[in-house]
Amino acid sequence: MLLIHNSRDSFYRNPIGAAPAGSRVRLRLTVKHEVQPDFVRVRTFSVTESWHDMMPIGQLSGAFLYEVNLTMPEKPNWFWYDFRVCVNDCEISYGNAQDKLGGEGQVWASLPPSYQITVYDKNFTTPEWMPNAIVYQILPDRFARTNHVTVLKGRVLHENWNDAPAISSNIKKQYYCSNDYFGGTLKGIEEKLPYLKELGINALYLNPIFFADTNHRYDTHDYHMIDPMLGNLEDFNSLCSKAMAMGMRVILDGVFSHTGVDSKYFVSAMTNPDSPYRNWFKFDDSEIGYSCWWGDPLLPETIEENEDFVDYTLTGKDATIPYWINNGASGWRLDVADELPMPFLRVLRSAAKKADAQACVIGEVWENASCKVTYGEARGYCFGDTLDSVMNYPLRAAMISFLIGAWDSRRTCREILHLYETYPKQFAYSLMNLMGSHDRPRILNALAEVTGEGLTRIEQSKLKIPQTRRDLARQRMKLFFALLCAIPGMPTIYYGDEAGLEGTYDPFCRGTFPWGNEDNDLREFFRGCIQVRRENAVLRTGEFDMLFPTPNVILVIRWIRGGYDALGNEASDSVALCAINGGSSHVSIVLPESALFCDTLIPHGEGEPLTPVDGLYTFCIDAMGYMIWVNR
């Protein structure tokens, strides 16, 4: 007996992907057998388990076809389903594939892993600008400085902008600390806005800018004060104003799971039992004397459920979240969002949207954000009540694995497609699709496979990418970025990646931007990919699919049909095809004409138009090469 269901085929599941609360979803199952089954049922589970009989609706290629229409829960939740078929009193189950990544499933002898439908708030919307954004992440101390830098007591300033980040340690507390500075400022960023505009950037994500004790500033001292080495409120207002005038938004980094040990909040709470901040923290009889973030005594943990903390950061007069939006920010990226209580996130979202309905709330979540287990609790961050979207670390991991040859195209595409299947479209089209970040070795190092894994910081400081590996990594990076510009979400550049910066783990992934020593070829490649994306709406808001015709080739297909894009907005019909070849030899690809819904596609750059012959498209992709075609 052969059973078939494919959660990514609209014939078998319609609509594909996440579903609004209260909506209807049609499921189908094909049963190929000599005799008609005694029964075919679908088992569903949301709040409770239910069984639904599937009705026979005819035959397809000698197989029996069954169908059922289901109503999704009225409230956002997960909705799981699998199938049970009985023939001649013999029952078998059919469910998700072995890897649990959706698509075509398989028969199981026991209770199978279920398919997931993410049921989200039918009123869930995300900022209109996000699907069209190209994001540039900046560690403010390391991007650009001005002539005058205010050096605070206890901080070490590098006179030479091109120095490597220092390896420093706090001998007294026996903890690594980041107290060397290069003097990057908000004014420095402002002066480089023309560079960013020319590159094609329209959103800036700034790592923390508030007063803190380290150069990365993830140990906040004062949520309402710009770090004096970066500038002041006037400088921030000016940056936001001039960026917006040039078509760029500014996104801030919010750190609410902990503060710095020397913050005005914790010092007051530690020394004064009557401090207004006393109840922000949990004091105990341990050797340290208080709860701290991941055991680091330099980062006392906050109690986000505390009413005073919520009032100060979210809901009160001049609360942190609305205060900075009212001063020009276009939203927030939340550090370790998956460690913040869900009620806190819900209130935070409400506070941000009240200040500006178009403000974004992006979370740092390293796994699939549709269903993550945190502290023993399953959490969904895309139901529409907390985050607009997340940093797409699973995409980054999948593409690195593909480009270094650890995964083939099939596994890579399945990992990526599963994300888009389980996310609501508005969430998926707002993903922060990153290659590099401040928390990981530079993407050039990752793709050169020279990350410093297992080495001491001193050993990492001496590590350089050999030229042959660097050349290979550069080409891999081009393929990665070409794909980012072809899939839904916000392509995101970590400052300096486009200029060829390399670096292993923190602090070496946080070097200064190499002004005057940029990799111009790499930068121009980035600029060209961004330009193609910005010139073609289909690459931003078109429907989306991926194919894996050979183990080393990934195809991305985007399309707009019927005058409406994937988000339901009016748009001109168009089709785009992006092909990347991660292998060491050229490959010939053949596709049926029906795969692209059009007659002829025009290549970007060099290449011949793609026209079907006898119902087939045939084209070649060079070794480590890419191509993109668009039908306008």
Residues recognised as catalytic: 335, 364
Count of other CB atoms within 10 angstroms of residue 162: 12
Task: Tell me the Ramachandran region of residue 376: left when phi exceeds 0, alpha when psi lies from -120 to 50, beta otherwise.
Answer: left
Provide the residue count of the chain.
632
If we measure between CA atoms, which residue out of 228, 157, 219 comes closest to residue 187?
A: 228
DSSP states along 316-379: STT-HHHHHHHTT--EEEETTGGGS-HHHHHHHHHHHHHH-TT-EEEE---S-TTSEEETTEEE
Mutual angle of helices 409-422 and 393-403, in 10-degree steps: 170
Inter-CA distances, 185 with 103, 160, 248, 334, Å: 48, 16, 18, 22
Q: What six digits make up the tokens of 215?
A: 């150069």
49: Cβ–Cβ under 8 A, 6 or more apart, which residues? 43
Inter-CA distances, 241 with 228, 250, 329, Å: 20, 10, 9
Q: Which helix (H) or strand (E) holds 160?
A: none
Q: What six digits make up the tokens of 612?
A: 């079907």
What is residue 269's three-state secondary structure? helix
Q: What six digits make up the tokens of 303?
A: 């109690």
What gap in Å lies between CA 324 and CA 251, rounded to an integer? 10
95-128 core/surface letters (b: 16 or more CB in 10 A; e: else): bbbeeebbbebeebeeebbbbbbbbbeeebebbe
Residue showing tokens 């980094």? 253
